[in-house]
Amino acid sequence: MPQLFLFTVGQVVHTLPEGEAVIGVTSLAGEIFLLRRKESDQVEVYDVITYRLLRRRTVPDLRFSADMTSCEHFECIYICDCDGECVHRSTVQATAFTRWTAKDGPCGLSVNASHNLLVTCRRVCKIKEFSSHGDLLREISLPNDVIRPWHAIQTHENEFVVCYGGGGDAVHRVCKISADGRHIVHSYGGKRGSGYGQFDGPAHLAVDNNEFVFVLDMHNRRVRLLSPTLGHVRDVESCDKMKWYPDRMWLDVQRRRLYVSENEWNEVEDKYTSGHVVVFSV
């Protein structure tokens, strides 16, 4: 029997320590993994109950990371390197990372029900499916209406939920796409904005076990909840609870926790300079 969420407005449970910009967060085996944009000790590992820092890990040759996810079945974490055009992988127990080439602008990661890794390739508007050890299983070309996608998640019905829309793009939208990648089944969004039915930078997704969709709306500083058919439900997290700009998120279904990374934008330096992760109850 699937667990039901009440979909109440999220309450802040904890905020992990501030440091370098955070560009990935996930949880696995009772631990929270946080990915920072720095040269070494990029991965910080925290206890999921006490939020105590347990250890740090360095990912060798990581150039410009874009996302992080985990797989409970294989007990491993994955990190996307968009500049290096590759994926880094490590198990919870291992001390080293392996990697394989992804190509074509990899920017978003998720794991499907078959325990394979989905890599959203922004430059060519494709989703690539890899085995846990980097074997390319298939490529799914997205419809022409989907321009420069950020992130994709496969549902239990084998459809794909995809978000897209960046600074210079006219359309900012979330779509549900058929299993073969050819047709848009449902959509939400359109012209860039902050009003009802609009997004301004839908950059990351999470889907619960009833296929409700959480959408991180970066520049509107909120997380919006959509129904399985992409109808509006409510804003789970809004700008009044966010200190900076949200960037990535991870939904822990069992613990009913939503981990949202926030980063401070420095206009003078033209980059994110600080970041942390806020833990919400959902």
Please tell me what DSSP assigns to residue 209: T
Could you tell me which of 39, 45, 51, 41 has the C-alpha nearest to residue 15?
51
Identify whether the C-beta of residue 106 lies closer than 8 Å to the C-beta of residue 66: yes
Please tell me what DSSP assigns to residue 140: E
Identify whether the C-beta of residue 240 lies closer than 8 Å to the C-beta of residue 11: no
Give the pLDDT of residue 157: 93
Could you tell me which of 66, 70, 5, 22 has the C-alpha nearest to residue 225?
5
Identify whether the C-beta of residue 259 lies closer than 8 Å to the C-beta of residue 277: yes
Task: Please give the Cα distance from 155 to 207 (Å, whole number).
Answer: 8
Contact residues for 116 (Cβ-Cβ < 8 A; gap 6+)? 129, 130, 131, 132, 137
Task: Please give the Cα distance from 37 to 131 (Å, whole number).
Answer: 26
Give the pLDDT of residue 9: 59
State how far Cα 263 lies from the chain centre.
15
Enumerate domains of the chain plus CATH numbers. 11-281 (2.120.10.30)
| Residue-by-residue pLDDT tens, the chain, 282 positions | 344 444 445 789 999 999 999 999 999 999 999 999 999 999 999 999 999 999 999 999 999 999 999 999 999 999 999 999 999 999 988 888 999 999 999 999 999 999 999 999 999 999 999 999 999 999 999 999 999 999 999 999 999 999 999 888 999 999 999 999 999 999 999 999 998 899 999 999 999 999 999 999 999 999 999 999 999 999 987 766 778 999 999 999 999 999 999 999 887 777 888 999 999 998
Task: Please give the Cα distance from 234 to 7 (Å, whole number).
Answer: 8
Please tell me what DSSP assigns to residue 19: B
Task: Please give the Cα distance from 126 to 82 (Å, whole number).
Answer: 14
Tokens 């600080």 appear where?
Answer: 274
Structure tokens at 201: 């930078």
Task: Please give the Cα distance from 177 to 80 (Å, whole number).
Answer: 23
Could you tell me which of 260, 262, 256 has the C-alpha nearest to residue 279?
260
Could you tell me which of 271, 282, 281, 259 has the C-alpha nearest to residue 35?
259
Could you tell me which of 73, 67, 74 has the C-alpha nearest to residue 106?
67
Task: Please give the Cα distance from 162 to 151 (Å, whole number).
Answer: 6
Could you tell me which of 89, 108, 111 has the C-alpha nearest to residue 100?
89
